[in-house]
Chains A and B, each alone.
Chain A
């Protein structure tokens, strides 16, 4: 094992880590908002909205992400109207094209996950909220959404992991995130295996931290499923006094 080379590769690749994280975080954040909208369309019961969301989900889940990235980055530039529109400064930038493609893609998968979460909220909880006099919006904000998020979180963490992995496709449209730098290093040094090991380690580390974070959030969001904490000596003493 050539440790100096591995170390040097690690330093080169870790410099590209912020870009990978930024891509993933932006895409996941925007994608989640879009996904919530799509999920609400699906369960709204309004047929046109429902069919729109179904079609959207079918298209974005049924075609490869790379095709979607190419369609947005290379494809849209074909139209003069797009090139002369006010959005061109966004659409000619590979970074934003990658973010848009990742966001649209993850929204399709996440919409179904969130829909599952929303449907899993027990009816009794909603009824109880209504009988307390909450308005429909408040029921959604205070009752339905938090419970749905809690339910959907485990499946959503899978989707987040696949998004982190999907950011690697941005390297194909010239973005030098971790995979992009790794591919450049491989073609410069022809030492595919060493570079692969280091890059793979970085992705594994990201995903490990991500799963731990989600597990922590899950723990915080489900206090009702935990054993009550035993009373500490201090509180007991305080109560006696």
Chain B
């Protein structure tokens, strides 16, 4: 058997891994997006708890961010994957199921990635809210807006404007973190590259292709985020 060339590997021919790698890349983006969205929801709640929560809520939020920013992401993924499986197994036994029930890897991965990125986004949102001028909020109240209306029209858009650069950083981290989900057996980009490397004996080519795809995803999404930043800060005068 002759060694397939790099173009054979990424193509769609008989030796081609192109479609498989593409599916893997889509899976990676899906995991990263779900993780990021979960993280954004947690981050918004966490920032709210830190800004206007009582001592208990603030304590919980700061314990959460301290812990999640201080321990490796891989451990969190293991916790969700194995811990989730043991919880599901226990629940299954309740209902009379026999043996071990696995926790879906995608769910475990998205939750784990979401919870770690939530800790980072809490800090991003908190910082962004602090950057909103008190005068803007006062003006909204003076116009007679209700608290919800003020949040929707004034606080949320302005916070988003200040938060977007930080969120962009968190997104890049989340995207790279999604590679760790491959340990749970979810066939995302890295796992697909591992499979390809195993069955062709060409690990360097496959991991290099994976690296290039990751670079492409992060470059494209970085560009999109920059467009978003531009749009969110239209009406801001730059010196």
Q: Which of chain B's residues have a CB closer than 8 A to the CB of A192? A: 78-79, 81-83, 85-86
Q: Which of chain B's residues have a CB closer than 8 A to the CB of A166? A: 72
A residues neighboring B (CB under 8 Å): 58-59, 62-68, 70-71, 74-79, 161, 165-169, 171-172, 179, 182-183, 186-187, 190-193, 196, 199-200, 203-204, 207-208
For chain A, what secondary structure do more than half of its interface residues adopt (helix, strand, loop), or is it mixed?
A: helix
Cβ contact of A168, chosen from B75, B208, B211, B219, cutoff 8 A: B75
For chain B, what secondary structure do more than half of its interface residues adopt (helix, strand, loop), or is it mixed?
A: helix
Whole-angstrom CA separation of A191 from B66 in the bound complex = 24
Cβ contact of A75, chosen from B70, B204, B219, cutoff 8 A: B204
B residues neighboring A (CB under 8 Å): 66-67, 70-75, 78-79, 81-83, 85-86, 172, 175-180, 182-183, 190, 193-194, 197, 201-205, 207-208, 210-211, 214-215, 218-219
**Least distance between B216 CB and chain A CB atoms (Å):** 9
| A63/B176 contact (C-beta < 8 A), A74-B207, A168-B72, A204-B67 known | yes
Whole-angstrom CA separation of A71 from B193 in the bound complex = 11
Q: Are B83 and A68 in contact (CB under 8 A)?
A: no
**Least distance between B178 CB and chain A CB atoms (Å):** 8
- 9 more A-B residue pairs beyond the given contacts A78-B201, A179-B75, A204-B70, with a C-beta to C-beta distance below 8 A: A62-B219, A67-B193, A70-B207, A71-B204, A76-B204, A168-B72, A182-B75, A192-B79, A200-B67
Q: Are B197 and A74 in contact (CB under 8 A)?
A: yes
Chain A residue, CB-CB nearest to B214: A63
Q: Are B74 and A171 in contact (CB under 8 A)?
A: yes
Q: Are A67 and B79 in contact (CB under 8 A)?
A: no
**Least distance between A81 CB and chain B CB atoms (Å):** 12
Whole-angstrom CA separation of A161 from B78 in the bound complex = 20
| A59/B211 contact (C-beta < 8 A), A169-B180, A192-B82 known | yes
10 CB contacts below 8 A, A to B, read: A63-B210, A63-B218, A64-B180, A67-B207, A70-B193, A74-B207, A75-B207, A179-B75, A192-B79, A204-B67
| A182/B204 contact (C-beta < 8 A), A59-B215, A192-B86, A204-B70 known | no
Q: Are A62 and B214 in contact (CB under 8 A)?
A: yes
Q: Are A78 and B179 in contact (CB under 8 A)?
A: no
Q: Are B210 and A67 in contact (CB under 8 A)?
A: yes
Q: Are A79 and B75 in contact (CB under 8 A)?
A: no
**Least distance between A97 CB and chain B CB atoms (Å):** 12
Q: Which of chain A's residues have a CB closer than 8 A to the CB of B180? A: 64, 66, 169
Q: Are B211 and A203 in contact (CB under 8 A)?
A: no
Chain B residue, CB-CB nearest to A193: B83
**Least distance between B44 CB and chain A CB atoms (Å):** 23
